[in-house]
Every structure is written in C-alpha cells, then in structure tokens.
Amino acid sequence: MGKASAIYLYGPPASGKTTLGARLARALRRDFIDLDAEIERRTGRHIPDIFRDDGEAAFRAIESSTLRDVAAGQGSSAIVALGGGTLLDPANRALAESTGRVWRLEPPSPEELARRIALRPGSRPLGDKSRERAVHYASFPRAIAATFDLDDSLVVIGSGLGALCGFAKMAVADATAASLHPSALADIPTFTIPSGEDKKRVETVCSIWNACHGNAVTRRDRILAFGGGVTGDMTGFAAATWMRGIDWVNIPTTLLSMVDASTGGKTGFDLQEGKNLVGAFHPPALVLIDTDYLSTLPPRELASGQAEMIKHEIISGKLRPSVAGIPTAGEIAANLAVKVDVVRQDPHETKGMRMLLNCGHTIGHAIEAASGYALSHGEAVAIGCVEEARIAVRLGLASADWPEMLAARFSAASLPVAAPQFDRATVAAFMAADKKRDGDGIVFALPCGWGDVRRVTLRLGEIA
C-alpha cells in the first residue's frame, strides 16, 4: 500500500473499466490511461477497423507492444484500463503482475452487459465474452464488485482492495483491526487508536491532530481511516478540521461501518452529554469496502451490522435470500445502495428523507442508553424496530402480524428482539432527552411494512 505502481483494471468488454478508471484516477490523483484509446491514438485507426481489416492476431500484437510501452512509461504509476482480453496472453499477464496490481471488475448482470454492448453497436468487435472467459477472469483474486459515485465520494466494494488506497500520508487505525490485519498497513505510517465507543471523544481526536502534525500532513495530503465506525467518524472529523479540511480515505473494517457509517459524510465524536454531539459533514474522497476484513469480526459485531442491513431492507422492501453468515460483496453493495439512494436525495439531512435511515433508532437509541450500553447498537436497533412496529400496529399503520414478521428476520440474524429488562419509564426518559425531539413531540421513522417507513411525530403519552 502507498507505493507507486500501476493499477490495472481488467474485465469483460463493457464491464465499466474506462468509466471507473477515470473516476478512480480523480479520487487517487493519478494519471489515467485507457489502453484501447492509446492503441487508437498510436495507430490512428479505430479498433473495430483493425479487427476487420487485419484480424485479431494483428490487433493482439499491437495491444501487447502498447502495453509494454505503457508499463515502462507514464503508466508505471497510473490507473490503466485494459482491454477485455489483454491478459489472455501469458506474457502480458506476467508484465502486468510484475509492474502493478490487477483488479478484475465483476461484470454487471448479463442483461445490463448486453444493454451496454448494444448501446454502442460495432464498438465491441468480440461482443459479450464474459461467460466464455469466466475461468480466466476468476483467476485474478482481487475483485471490484460494485461502485457508487456519491457527491464527491467514490465508493468501491470488493476484495483485495487495500492496495488501492495509495498515496495517503498517514493512516489512523483501530488497534484491534490493525493487529488482526497487519499487512494492510505495512507500507504506510500508522497512528493506532484504542478500540471502543468510549474512546470516541475529543482527546482521541486531539491525538489524531497531533499525529497529523508529527507526520507533517499538509493541506494537500490525505489521511486514511482503517477500522469501524468509531475510527471513521473521528478520522473524518480530524480530516474535516486539520488545516481547515483535507481529503481522506475510509477503509471500514466492520460490517456496520461498511453498510452504514462509512458512507454519507457524517463525521464526529461523542460528549459526556450525548453521542455524536460534535461533528461535520465531510465525505471521504474514497471509500474502500473490502469484504476480506469481515473474516475476523466477532459474531456479535457481525450481527450488529446485520441489524443495519435489515433496517435497509425495511426501507427498500428488497430482502436478501438469507441473513445468516458473512454477506458477499454483492449483497453489501445492494444493501448500501439503499443508503446511497437516500443520501443522494438529502445529503445534509435538511429535506426529511434522510430521517428514514433512523427507522427503529428512536426507541433503539433509548434502549441502548437505558441498558448502559450493555446492548450493542445493532441489538438495540433490532429491538427498537420491533417495538416501533408495534406502535405502527397500534396506530393502525401496519398489519397485526408485522412485528412478528420483523422479529423473525432479526432472530434469523442472531439478534435479540425483546429486552427482558425493558423499563418503559427509563426508556421514555431517554427518548425525551433525544435530539430527534420536535417541540413536544418525538419524531419516528416508523417501520410499517417492507418498503414502508413513515415519518410520524408522537407525544410521549401516545408511545407507551
């Protein structure tokens, strides 16, 4: 990580190599080279014409010599989008793997791929090769499953992504995540912060500022967060404020931070008086969501992330086939898309849409606090969603079997759905103190059914 070597993007024709390459180059401040465009520039001919007039063998010879020149020249530290079959030639593959790292782009669905190819008739002389070359593409272990472009943030989801982060001046790492994944930060000066929500406070942020100073981080540099939501929130806030704001890259290492905290631009820390009371909107330039890090996550942390994924399922009405085990990159991408969609419509939480993401959280936060944080955030959200679903039934907004349906979904992900010590008076007191108050009322994003979350303001008396 950090060393300048080429980043090669590879995959079937129309898998999006050129679009992503240009966008990634902007995020990483590197040059971008599109191998096909380079071939056309050098030969002064269109690639379909070379295929038609001279045949594929002649094209491959030009392609190999262009790759050699690119790898030896300005491409050695650039993002390079390869052709769909460039690395079928073992010599080309050896060259790419010795001068940089190769990321394979997962093709979109067959229908989407066919649609993209059809959009530019004649431009893809070999058509859809993704099935025929499936084994070849699968032999590249680093994969990009999906990407999102959200305001100034590029979100990349896949595996083996760590080496993409390049050019950060300094990493801020959660102690536990860093010790479990030492190779991820091998090439970058790393400031380690202690793990835990109780460390999400101004003293730790101050230590990050001091580390920025110690590592001579300037206005033009970027820093990198490596850890869960606690690390991302504080590192993002340090980046928002250091030298009045510098770029940052976020590598979330918990499921919760992958599907929720990493994206949307909120940064900050806790005060004694309450969670997340100080903060700023400062989206990371790049978010790298790498499912490899999930293998070391304790089951309770995994379940906590599942709770936020189920919350997104409630909002969208799109359910995964199963909630057991570690989700795939594709499942994470589909789930995160729900949050991305909401944030796109309401980036600074001024239009009411972003409020939907608080589904289950009004009661959830109160239960979490009332338990003295013995319940994890995800556990409290699971219980909160089911309790809020019961309110929806009482208000005539949901069918009678809805709370049990929801409870079954959370239980399948090993989450609790009832707090035996649920003391309504204490929970109500915490709700009354919550920042989601609106005059005398308390604002809810009430789960009323799959794909049906409604903003409702209730008085305390109407809740119990």
Ligand X SMILES: NC(=O)c1ccc[n+]([C@@H]2O[C@H](COP(=O)([O-])OP(=O)(O)OC[C@H]3O[C@@H](n4cnc5c(N)ncnc54)[C@H](O)[C@@H]3O)[C@@H](O)[C@H]2O)c1
Phi-psi region of 96 (alpha: psi -120 to 50; beta: other; left: phi over 0): alpha
The answer to whether residue 436 is catalytic is no
The answer to whether residue 244 is catalytic is yes
Rounded to a whole number of angstroms, the minimum distance from the CB of residue 97 to ligand X is 27
Contact with ligand X (CB under 6 A) among 20, 164, 239, 261: 261
Q: Which two tokens stand for residue 396?
A: 């005539």
266 binds ligand X (CB under 6 A): yes
DSSP 406-460: HHHHHHHTT-----TT--HHHHHHHHHTSTTEETTEEEEEEEEETTEEEEEEE-H
Distances (CA, A) of 4 to 77, 98, 102, 216, 390: 5, 13, 14, 20, 55
Q: Considering only residues 61-120, where is the footprint of ligand X by CB under 6 A?
A: none
Return d(Cα 15, Cα 415) in angstroms, integer: 37
Q: Considering only residues 225-244, where is the footprint of ligand X by CB under 6 A?
A: 227-231, 233
Using DSSP bridges, classify how beta strands 79-81 and 6-10 pair: parallel, antiparallel or unpaired: parallel
Of the residues 93, 339, 379, 409, only one is catalytic, namely 339
260 binds ligand X (CB under 6 A): yes
The number of C-alpha atoms within 13 Å of 314 and in the hemisphere containing its C-beta is 33
Binding mask 184-223 for ligand X (x = CB under 6 A): -----------xxx--x-----------------------
> Which one of 241-249, 255-263, 345-353, 418-426 is the stretch in contact with ligand X (CB under 6 A)?
255-263
316 binds ligand X (CB under 6 A): no
Return d(Cα 224, Cα 166) in angstroms, integer: 10
State residue 49 phi and psi, 5-degree precision: -70, -40
The answer to whether residue 361 is catalytic is yes
Rounded to a whole number of angstroms, the minimum distance from the CB of residue 199 to ligand X is 8
Nearest to 81 by CA among 57, 63, 108: 63
Amino acid type, 250: N
Rounded to a whole number of angstroms, the minimum distance from the CB of residue 174 to ligand X is 5
Whichever of 209 and 281 has its CB closer to ligand X, that residue is: 281
346 binds ligand X (CB under 6 A): no
Whichever of 130 and 262 has its CB closer to ligand X, that residue is: 262
Whichever of 326 and 393 has its CB closer to ligand X, that residue is: 326
Sign of the Cα torsion 390, 394, 395, 397 reads positive
Three-point CA angle 78, 80, 86, nearest 5°: 145
Whichever of 80 and 285 has its CB closer to ligand X, that residue is: 285
Nearest to 407 by CA among 397, 395, 419: 419
The answer to whether residue 93 is catalytic is no
176 binds ligand X (CB under 6 A): yes
DSSP letter, residue 1: -
Size of the site for ligand X (CB under 6 A): 30
State residue 74 phi and psi, 5-degree precision: -65, -10
Asked if residue 457 lies in contact with residue 438, where contact means CB atoms within 8 angstroms, the answer is yes
Contact with ligand X (CB under 6 A) among 71, 105, 170, 177: 177
Contact with ligand X (CB under 6 A) among 250, 257, 306, 335: 257
Which residue number has the CB closest to ligand X? Answer: 229
Interacting residue ranges for ligand X, rule: CB under 6 A:
174, 176-177, 180, 195-197, 200, 227-231, 233, 253-254, 256-257, 260-261, 264, 266, 275-276, 293, 296-297, 301, 304, 377
Mind telling me the catalytic residues? 244, 266, 308, 339, 349, 354, 358, 361, 365, 377
